[in-house]
Structure 1
């Protein structure tokens, strides 16, 4: 998929069903609703995945994004929630120890329940959108910038490319992802869910949604980390005593690094809070917890090769967008 190096792009973080906030953000960015489609005369939007789940206007958000992509005014890459939706319906391969690629567990049922409920009166629409999810690339790349939902790992992407069709998965790849420990499973986890590390022995964390975890999400840009606290990258941080624990040499060697001299990289996924801005001058996360009354965030990219903090644009997602 070729991006125009001369065009300006507006990269937009995780929407999660905040369809009305998305319309407000597009209006703020200078897009206009014409003949039912949001469009801009000189720019294109790039959505970083996770259009579905959790929010009050999932169907509205999907139609908006689909129409923009279909008419050439946007791109959209796959998020882990679109992947979850496909995996919910895909039988797992023999030997996987599970029935579906995404197990019908309380965790995944809870993540997908709002989408299922809002599409319940529209089963054919939901089926059509799931088919469209196969057309969402896992990543976008140009000479100046890259976009992926959670983590860009060039070595993984290079090895994965031969299995993909223009960076898109197909049902066979989805099915193979249901085999834990395979390259396909691990590669899709890396791109769509990022990097993680086991918690110190015996420790667990409970997320805001009640899910108990024995791993925590990690930074993939920290150049000289010394402690657990140096690498944690998630809203619910580690307890102080765990954050102060030193990393072993083996743990440090296993950490992945997206280097400071690589092209601009845009990701979503990580539920950030506070004032939007760069993580580093070549790396931005645009997920600011919109569906949790946070911010729906965009970055206005032109020809710069280093991120400009003044080019982050957002709307505060409040009660007015949730009715």
Structure 2
């Protein structure tokens, strides 16, 4: 039995409630830091690190990667980025010895895990991107020397790392755009890469308030190649702040339900099953 736990975001109550409803081997999907009201990065990090030292496993989230970059001057020190990182900064400060020690620990977290039939990543199990990173870092663990390249997204390696922790986005055909939830006009759309029955932009789009704004045409071959194969090993991710009733099926799914916390109890099944979800 492996219990998979999605994003905690510095919420000690959510963490303890989740732990009380789980059993077996623990596997975390990253994003331990950077919470909202009531966040306590220190409490969550200390608890999770203790669990990992005792045998739990975890992958790196985009917030851990962003913190690595931010405290090394490789991510813009903008109001937006400081706001996203506020609770960590309030707990540890900017580039202080404690902040640097915790971000050093983030480097021990791999970008992906393959647990004898169950695959885990924070945002995307991209077969080509994982192959690109594994050619240099076979265990998926980054090194300090990789960070400048990742921050600049200047190479295939750097871009592959970003997609694994943040998910793929695709550019819409010329002439198409949509308004996001904040009203901003966008020409790139998040791809729900786990929907292996998605064949069009509308079916594969994620976080689009009005999918009618998107072209109802087949995905080009290069984009369709990002969709996870239906016959591949099951994979679970977090990251996406899913809405509605938690649900999984098929070969891949996000279990990051912000308003309906859950965990997934995997017991060797080859197809994900909603009955294996534990509501918190």
Question: What's the TM-score, normalizing by structure 2?
Answer: 0.89
Structure 2 contact 27–58 (Cα < 8 Å) conserved: yes
SS of 1:303's equivalent in the other structure is coil
Residue correspondence of structure 1 range 154-165 to structure 2 within 5 A: 154-164=127-137
Equivalenced residue count is 276
Root mean square deviation, CA, Å: 2.4
Gaps of 5+ in 2: none
Q: Provide the rounded CA distance (Å) in 2 between the counterparts of 1:188 and 1:121.
A: 24
The structure 1 residue matched to 2:22, chosen from 25, 29, 39, is: 29
Gaps of 5+ in 1: 1-7, 31-42, 92-99, 316-323
Structure 2 residue 21 is matched with structure 1 residue 46: no
SS of 1:85's equivalent in the other structure is helix
Moved over 6 A (4+): none
Residue correspondence of structure 1 range 292-303 to structure 2 within 5 A: 294-303=259-268
Structure 1 contact 228–242 (Cα < 8 Å) conserved: no
Deviation at 1:241, TM superposition (A): 3.4
Structure 1 contact 205–214 (Cα < 8 Å) conserved: no
Greater Rg over alpha carbons, structure: 1
Question: What's the TM-score, normalizing by structure 1?
Answer: 0.78
Structure 1 contact 137–168 (Cα < 8 Å) conserved: yes
Structure 2 residue 257 is matched with structure 1 residue 288: yes
Which residue number corresponds to residue 88 of structure 2?
115
Which residue number corresponds to residue 172 of structure 1?
145
Deviation at 1:163, TM superposition (A): 1.7
Alpha carbons of structure 1 residues 130 and 29: separation in structure 2 relative to 1, 3 Å: same
Structure 2 residue 33 is matched with structure 1 residue 68: no
Structure 2 residue 179 is matched with structure 1 residue 205: yes
Structure 2 contact 7–30 (Cα < 8 Å) conserved: yes
Deviation at 1:64, TM superposition (A): 1.1
Deviation at 1:189, TM superposition (A): 1.8
Deviation at 1:137, TM superposition (A): 0.3
